[in-house]
Structure 1
Amino acid sequence: MKRLTAIGFEGSANKIGVGIVTLDGSILSNPRHTYITPPGHGFLPRETAHHHLEHVIPLVRSALDDAGLTPADIDCICYTRGPGMGAPLQVCAVAVRVLSQLWGKPIVAVNHCVAHIEMGRVVTGADDPVVLYVSGGNTQVIAYSEGRYRIFGETIDIAVGNCLDRFARVLTLSNDPSPGYNIEQLAKKGEQFLDLPYVVKGMDVSFSGILSYIEATAVEKLKNNECTPADLCYSLQETVFAMLVEITERAMAHCDKKDVLIVGGVGCNERLQEMMRIMCAERGGRLFATDDRYCVDNGAMIAYTGLLAFAHGVTTSLEDSTFTQRFRTDEVHAIWREKAIINEEIVTSDGKFGDSMTAVEF
């Protein structure tokens, strides 16, 4: 019996990725390409979109070749509707519209944040954890409840990844492979901890004040040889990660959950994983995390999440296959969490069989 198969397009920021997956979570291919700017510079929407335009078709060919498939083998085409940067998002939306008509395949629009969660769950085997979603554009503490991923805490200004990236520009660190990664490596050499603002407001966090403070003091302290760049990176990491551990633990207590899943690009950081693992162990729980293959934006996470929705009858019309820079995690009805697919049948949460499904196999 043929397995449901989807191709997914991710291009919400500086990475363009195309992945092909099956409904059982098998990742058949997952190539991507990153737009890297010079040290001290971020990435602008127009230039990022041009990068995505240049690489999207070669990535489609690469994904199909790596998976050993043709367009005829694809059941649906999934793409990131949002959140993200407008111009890069538009590239994937347009590409998907064209391929849908060329290949005669249905479209499924996907929430970028939810895709990170579902990819993390299928790769790690985490069942129902509290999720810490940390990336360049998002910082949220999330838990599933009654059909949706509910946001229990988040940043009230900039994301933690944006905070780290912007400080990397102050130090003119390389953007290859990413500024956050290079801050992490430099922080390992830090020996002196510098007190920085620690801003937790209930379940929410704020990073803009910390960034402003360290930007203002970094140049002066470095000029006077009061510390090293490594000390600054170490101090910044320890402070912002402690804030994230605090609000995650508070959400665990509120939701009565013991496990934590970290997703998003910053989730690759080994120090963040270490701090969260210690906290989880103290509460008798477990930490689930992945490496940069799945933490960092990729097409497979879009394909898999879209396929979960498609298997439950969800599609997006050509007219509605648009994009949005703002798309809240809790706007999505995660119908697949309410119903499980077993032996070609949809089983509801009460254990009763619902509408029959075809072409589904585990």
Structure 2
Amino acid sequence: MKQMIALGFEGSANKIGVGVVTLDGTILSNPRHTYITPPGQGFLPRETAQHHLQHVLPLIKSALETAKITHDDIDCLCYTKGPGMGAPLQVAAVVVRILSQLWKKPIVAVNHCVAHIEMGRVVTGADDPVVLYVSGGNTQVIAYSEGRYRIFGETIDIAVGNCLDRFARVLTLSNDPSPGYNIEQLAKKGEQFIDLPYVVKGMDVSFSGILSYIEASAVEKLKNNECTPADLCYSLQETVFAMLVEITERAMAHCDKKDVLIVGGVGCNERLQEMMRIMCSERGGNLFATDDRYCIDNGAMIAYTGLLAYAHGMTTPLDETTFTQRFRTDEVLAIWRDKNAPSVNGVHQDGTCEQL
């Protein structure tokens, strides 16, 4: 008997990560490297891809050494198919193709959003929560139903993380370790709440108008000493997080669920977690959240989700190992969530498998 092991590659945005995970969710290694640009600047696809190319091989070596395994111990290779930025996604797709042919290992293409959810579930122990997925590129309220992760609400323009990141550029905050983190720290010093547009449309939210409004008013208010940068960060966080709590609670009522799981990079924000925890407790439920080890993009989440699929017989033929910038969460058939679905590949209920 041996535990099934997967090697996973994540490179959909400005982080390149390689993770080694077993089927029971044990993370054997999870190194990553972040492309950090100067204050006031975002990251462009071409330069980000070049960063990933420079760091991916050392990360593979580090992941295998830390996990104390060789490529012979790996059962499958997993990579992020999408969604994400095209050029960075291409790096992981090409690397996994090469390794598959060198090591004679099957490939599993993984949806980035679903990977965040499965990593959150295995780390926190959340069983069947409503999921708030918030990151630089995505904002969705999700719940599992009939074989798929259904999207009950989402942003109709930019993601909440993108809104925060772009405002950090207006204030020329550092991108190290991330602009969102630095906004969070500055917001803790805010004392004055400034009214901002609050845009909830049914189950959906909009952030572009809020960003435009605060960008225009920020310069004027700061110039006239009417507020501080901390006040603006505090006000922006309170407003956009209240919007997210509202649509999440509406989804909970619709789905008759009491628990919430927050995933994605913005899910690290302690104020968002606090606001969501209060709402959940008022409804008699629990909030499940993680820290930056698992919220932020990483290779382990790709490895684990791919391994779940592989254990149920799902692999991706070499000629289909493409990447795409648009890959909806509800396009994925989450066969591993079906309690009646038979496991294949010699997998036992305890996560071990026959030596193949």
Equivalenced residues, count: 350
Q: Is the 8 A contact 1:3 1:359 kept in 2?
A: no
- 1:46 paired to 2:46: yes
How far off its partner does 1:19 sit? 0.1
1:175-186 alignment runs, 5 A limit: 175-186=175-186
How far off its partner does 1:356 sit? 5.5
Q: Is the 8 A contact 1:2 1:359 kept in 2?
A: no
Alignment-mate amino acid for residue 86 of structure 1: G
**Cα deviations across residues 11-53 of structure 1 (Å, max 9, x unaligned)?**
0000000000000000000000000000000000000000000
**Cα deviations across residues 322-352 of structure 1 (Å, max 9, x unaligned)?**
000000000000000003xxxxxxxx16xxx
Alignment-mate amino acid for residue 315 of structure 1: T
**Cα deviations across residues 186-230 of structure 1 (Å, max 9, x unaligned)?**
000000000000000000000000000000000110000000000
- 2:346 aligns with 358
Q: Is the 8 A contact 1:21 1:300 kept in 2?
A: yes
Q: Matches of 2:13 and 2:343 in 1, distance apart?
A: 38
How far off its partner does 1:299 sit? 0.1
**Cα deviations across residues 97-136 of structure 1 (Å, max 9, x unaligned)?**
0000000000000000000000000000000000000000
Q: Matches of 1:105 and 1:319 in 2, distance apart?
A: 14
Structure 1 vs Structure 2 CA RMSD: 0.8
Change (3 A) 1:191 1:148: same
Alignment-mate amino acid for residue 185 of structure 2: Q
**Cα deviations across residues 296-321 of structure 1 (Å, max 9, x unaligned)?**
00000000000000000000011000
SS of alignment partner, residue 122 of structure 1: helix
| Structure 1, unaligned runs of 5 or more | 340-347
Alignment-mate amino acid for residue 346 of structure 2: T
Q: Matches of 1:227 and 1:211 in 2, distance apart?
A: 17
- 1:31 paired to 2:19: no
1:262-341 alignment runs, 5 A limit: 262-339=262-339
Q: Matches of 1:355 and 1:241 in 2, distance apart?
A: 40
**Cα deviations across residues 137-170 of structure 1 (Å, max 9, x unaligned)?**
0000000000000000000000000000000000
Q: Matches of 2:255 and 2:57 in 1, distance apart?
A: 44
Q: Matches of 1:89 and 1:356 in 2, distance apart?
A: 29
- 1:343 aligns with none
TM-score normalised to structure 1 length: 0.96
Q: Matches of 1:74 and 1:37 in 2, distance apart?
A: 35
Q: Matches of 2:347 and 2:59 in 1, distance apart?
A: 27
Q: Is the 8 A contact 2:312 2:343 kept in 1?
A: no
Alignment-mate amino acid for residue 358 of structure 1: G
1:1-362 alignment runs, 5 A limit: 1-339=1-339, 348=340, 354=342, 357-360=345-348, 361-362=350-351
Alignment-mate amino acid for residue 258 of structure 2: K
**Cα deviations across residues 254-311 of structure 1 (Å, max 9, x unaligned)?**
0000000000000000000000000000000000000000000000000000000000
How far off its partner does 1:359 sit? 5.0
SS of alignment partner, residue 167 of structure 1: helix
Q: Is the 8 A contact 1:45 1:85 kept in 2?
A: yes
How far off its partner does 1:355 sit? 6.1
SS of alignment partner, residue 258 of structure 1: coil
Alignment-mate amino acid for residue 312 of structure 2: H
Q: Matches of 1:46 and 1:141 in 2, distance apart?
A: 31
SS of alignment partner, residue 97 of structure 1: helix
Q: Is the 8 A contact 1:19 1:63 kept in 2?
A: yes
Q: Is the 8 A contact 2:311 2:343 kept in 1?
A: no
Q: Matches of 1:257 and 1:167 in 2, distance apart?
A: 34
SS of alignment partner, residue 266 of structure 1: helix
Q: Matches of 1:102 and 1:358 in 2, distance apart?
A: 24
Q: Matches of 1:210 and 1:139 in 2, distance apart?
A: 15
Q: Matches of 1:110 and 1:247 in 2, distance apart?
A: 27
Alignment-mate amino acid for residue 191 of structure 1: E
**Cα deviations across residues 234-258 of structure 1 (Å, max 9, x unaligned)?**
0000000000000000000000000
Q: Is the 8 A contact 1:142 1:151 kept in 2?
A: yes
Q: Matches of 2:143 and 2:70 in 1, distance apart?
A: 37
Q: Is the 8 A contact 2:198 2:239 kept in 1?
A: yes
Q: Is the 8 A contact 1:264 1:297 kept in 2?
A: yes
Alignment-mate amino acid for residue 2 of structure 1: K
TM-score normalised to structure 2 length: 0.97
Alignment-mate amino acid for residue 250 of structure 1: R
Q: Matches of 1:183 and 1:24 in 2, distance apart?
A: 36
Q: Matches of 1:301 and 1:355 in 2, distance apart?
A: 20
Q: Matches of 1:16 and 1:180 in 2, distance apart?
A: 18
Q: Matches of 2:220 and 2:214 in 1, distance apart?
A: 10
SS of alignment partner, residue 3 of structure 2: coil
Alignment-mate amino acid for residue 213 of structure 1: Y
How far off its partner does 1:358 sit? 1.3
Q: Is the 8 A contact 2:313 2:343 kept in 1?
A: no
Q: Matches of 2:150 and 2:10 in 1, distance apart?
A: 23
Runs (4+) off by over 2 Å: 354-357, 359-362
Q: Matches of 2:287 and 2:337 in 1, distance apart?
A: 21
Alignment-mate amino acid for residue 248 of structure 2: T
